[in-house]
């Protein structure tokens, strides 16, 4: 067993871990040891290799801003980048800033224990080594633990069962196969519309219909890219000052202020334009006011009915049990038209739930279906699911799982009482879910870097959020959630997609500007809410 001593231990080599390593090691001169379970960098973009995996946030916005040359030299090929291109980008960043040498890949953290006497974290990894660190940074991502298969009988199945986030790099030959896709979230929609042309039969099991809107993908022209690069400076400022973290026009009107005809024009423009503008740029009150929301929901349902030929299938695809935007809205390319193909069918997994996987396929309460491949697009234990599985023990032997028994919470999404010198990047109760992730990550890392720099400069050895600050911030997160429609839906936003997980707002639903203002205020007040020793 080897024991090494460093300033900072970092878990994860995705967007967050790579930038944290650059900032803390290259810019602040701290010694860093990173750990990554995958054999290479990329995080969520390493693992999610399923057919059709693509970022539904525009590539020119969904990228790092910290290095001027980097953002100019990386030429995105499409308006929305596919997984291989984002992975290549992150590998390029790892090379360009010499980050790989700080990571041990294929290495999992098995425990991280705070020692009050030495004021250090002892991080143990599955390669048998021990790393003693002053600071422990959780950059393990919000989507790194996939939801375990809930259906009994997997071992009986003669074919292949695969979760989308474990798709093999060499792919799976689906040509001529009978394939089931279980789940109709962002992933299920992407994978289904992509494999439909290859397979002999596709059966989509839908428990909850979703408000999917067009993605509007296309190659990124030289002109568009050139314009983005020329104006990156202003664009990035505008992005950070916008709800979603992209320089989209901000919605300033209530949906109820416009006539039905005017609304139709607004919705047409943003529906056809593609992507998150449909939510961010149409009307500001969609997420607060059920009546306003219903105007958008009706509009989207009408489009679904236009696009799907069989009226019964169309009705089944129309969401009726939640407000638009209260489950994370997916984006699609030709998902609805796919159901007009003769070899594609939709099964109502709410009316006739899946009971088990059988030797031949899937049995619902209604009948048995035969398949060669079953694709589980059933989602993730979102939030700090990975950290919860790392055996984290804070002050007085209290485990993180005990501390979060009633729900994951973190002061400004970054710090947890009883766990000094542990910082989360885009952690629970940050605003990451509504905020373009690479930018949110940079902000979060910069905040943590600044805090460590100040603690070091003043000779402090520990920084810990106070119980009162954590509690008050948690109340704020709840108050904000209660002012919106988010709590009315069963979604991962509320921790409600995992059986037994406490139902609580997983994020601060304000969007980027208010969250950034809170963090700026905390920093300006000398890291208010933290106690330093």
Chain residues that interact with ligand N01, rule: CB under 6 A: 54-56, 143, 150, 182-188, 190, 205, 207-208, 328, 349, 354, 377-380, 492, 497
Task: In angstroms, give the least distance from the CB of 48 to ligand N01.
Answer: 7
Nearer to ligand N01, 187 or 242 (CB): 187
Task: In angstroms, give the least distance from the CB of 438 to ligand N01.
Answer: 11
Nearer to ligand N01, 418 or 511 (CB): 511
Nearer to ligand N01, 492 or 515 (CB): 492
Task: In angstroms, give the least distance from the CB of 199 to ligand N01.
Answer: 19
Nearer to ligand N01, 59 or 187 (CB): 187
Task: In angstroms, give the least distance from the CB of 106 to ligand N01.
Answer: 24
Terminal Cα-to-Cα distance of the chain (whole angstroms): 32
SS (H, E, C) 152-212: CCHHHCCCEEEEHHHCCCCCCCCCCCEEEEECCCHHHHHHHHHHCCCCCEEEEEECCCCCC
Task: In angstroms, give the least distance from the CB of 183 to ligand N01.
Answer: 3
Asked whether 264 and 271 are in contact (CB, 8 A), the reply is no
Nearer to ligand N01, 87 or 377 (CB): 377
Residue nearest to ligand N01 (CB): 185
Task: In angstroms, give the least distance from the CB of 164 to ligand N01.
Answer: 6
Nearer to ligand N01, 413 or 529 (CB): 413
Task: In angstroms, give the least distance from the CB of 196 to ligand N01.
Answer: 17
Nearer to ligand N01, 147 or 178 (CB): 147
Nearer to ligand N01, 110 or 208 (CB): 208
Nearer to ligand N01, 185 or 214 (CB): 185
Closest by CA position to 193, among listed 217, 159, 169: 217
Residue carrying structure tokens 């005990």: 402
H or E, element range at 413: none
Q: What is the DSSP string of 316-374?
A: HHS--SS-TTSSPPPEESSHHHHTTSTTEEEEETTTS-EEEE-SSEEEESS-EEE-SEE
Asked whether 428 and 138 are in contact (CB, 8 A), the reply is no
Nearer to ligand N01, 322 or 409 (CB): 322
Nearer to ligand N01, 338 or 349 (CB): 349
Q: b/e string for 471-504 if b means 16 or more Cβ within 10 A?
A: eebbeebbebbeebbbbebbbbbbbbbbeebeeb
Query: Which pair of tokens denotes residue 477?
Result: 């997160």
CA 211 – CA 318 distance, rounded (Å): 7
Query: Which pair of tokens denotes residue 139?
Result: 């950059």
User: For residue 169, how many other CB atoms are within 10 A of its CB?
Assistant: 7
Asked whether 445 and 22 are in contact (CB, 8 A), the reply is no
Which residues, including other chains, have CB under 8 Å from residue 257's CB and lie 6 or more apart? none
Nearer to ligand N01, 55 or 452 (CB): 55
Query: Which pair of tokens denotes residue 210?
Result: 């979703």
Which residues, including other chains, have CB under 8 Å from residue 222's CB and lie 6 or more apart? none
Residue carrying structure tokens 């999610």: 48
Which CA distances in Å does 435 have to 240, 478, 481?
A: 9, 18, 16
Task: In angstroms, give the least distance from the CB of 298 to ligand N01.
Answer: 21
Nearer to ligand N01, 148 or 237 (CB): 148
SS (H, E, C) 203-242: EEEECCCCCCEECCCCECCHHHHHHHHHCHHHHHHHHHCC
Task: In angstroms, give the least distance from the CB of 133 to ligand N01.
Answer: 30
Q: Do strands 3-11 and 120-125 pair parallel, antiparallel, or not at all (unpaired)? A: unpaired
Q: b/e string for 256-284 if b means 16 or more Cβ within 10 A?
A: eebeeeebeebbeebbeebbbbbbbbbbb
Q: Please name every residue paired with 249 in a beta bridge, in sequence order, or none if there are none.
A: none
Closest by CA position to 473, among listed 444, 523, 515: 515
Task: In angstroms, give the least distance from the CB of 491 to ligand N01.
Answer: 7
Give the three-state DSSP class for 106.
coil
């Amino acid at each position: 067993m080897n024991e090494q001593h460093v300033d900072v231990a970092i878990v994860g080599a995705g967007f967050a871990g790579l930038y944290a390593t650059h900032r803390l090691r290259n810019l602040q001169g701290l010694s860093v040891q990173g750990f990554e379970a995958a054999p290479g960098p990329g995080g969520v973009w390493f693992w999610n290799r399923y057919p059709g995996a693509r970022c539904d946030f525009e590539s020119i916005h969904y990228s790092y801003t910290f290095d001027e040359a980097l953002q100019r030299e990386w030429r995105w090929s499409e308006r929305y980048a596919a997984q291989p291109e984002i992975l290549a980008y992150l590998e390029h960043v790892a090379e360009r800033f010499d980050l790989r040498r700080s990571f041990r890949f294929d290495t999992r953290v098995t425990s991280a224990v705070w020692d009050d006497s030495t004021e250090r974290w002892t991080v143990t990894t599955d390669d048998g080594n021990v790393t003693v660190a002053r600071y422990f940074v959780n950059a393990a991502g919000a989507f790194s633990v996939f939801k375990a298969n809930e259906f009994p009988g997997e071992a009986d199945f003669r074919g292949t069962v695969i979760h989308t986030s474990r798709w093999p790099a060499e792919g799976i030959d689906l040509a001529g196969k009978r394939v089931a896709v279980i789940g109709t979230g962002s992933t299920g929609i992407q994978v289904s519309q992509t494999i439909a042309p290859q397979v002999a039969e596709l059966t989509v099991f839908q428990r909850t219909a979703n408000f999917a809107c067009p993605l509007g993908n296309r190659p990124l022209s030289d002109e568009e890219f050139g314009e983005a690069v020329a104006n990156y400076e202003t664009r990035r400022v505008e992005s950070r000052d916008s709800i979603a973290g992209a320089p989209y026009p901000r919605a300033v009107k209530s949906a109820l202020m416009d006539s039905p005809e005017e609304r139709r024009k607004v919705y047409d423009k943003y529906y056809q334009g593609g992507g998150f503008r449909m939510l961010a740029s149409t009307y500001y009150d969609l997420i607060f006011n059920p009546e306003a929301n219903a105007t958008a929901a009706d509009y989207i349902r009408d489009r679904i009915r236009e696009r799907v030929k069989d009226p019964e299938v169309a009705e089944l695809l129309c969401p009726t049990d939640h407000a638009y935007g209260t489950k994370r809205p997916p984006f699609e390319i030709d998902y609805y038209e796919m159901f007009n193909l003769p070899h594609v069918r939709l099964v109502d997994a709410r009316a006739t739930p899946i009971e088990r996987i059988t030797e031949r396929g899937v049995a619902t309460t209604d009948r048995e279906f035969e398949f060669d491949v079953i694709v589980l697009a059933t989602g993730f234990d979102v939030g700090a699911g990975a950290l919860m599985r790392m055996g984290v023990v804070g002050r007085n032997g209290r485990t993180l799982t005990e501390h979060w028994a009633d729900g994951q919470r973190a002061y400004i999404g970054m710090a947890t009482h009883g766990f000094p010198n542990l910082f989360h990047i885009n952690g629970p109760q940050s605003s990451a879910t509504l905020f373009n992730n690479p930018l949110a990550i940079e902000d979060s890392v910069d905040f943590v870097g600044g805090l460590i720099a100040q603690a070091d400069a003043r000779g402090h050895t520990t920084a810990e959020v106070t119980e009162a600050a954590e509690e008050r911030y948690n109340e704020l997160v709840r108050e904000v959630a209660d002012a919106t429609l988010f709590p009315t839906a069963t979604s991962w936003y509320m921790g409600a997609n995992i059986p037994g997980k406490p139902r609580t707002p997983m994020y601060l639903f304000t969007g980027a500007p208010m969250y950034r203002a809170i963090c700026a205020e905390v920093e300006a007040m000398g890291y208010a809410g933290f106690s330093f020793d």
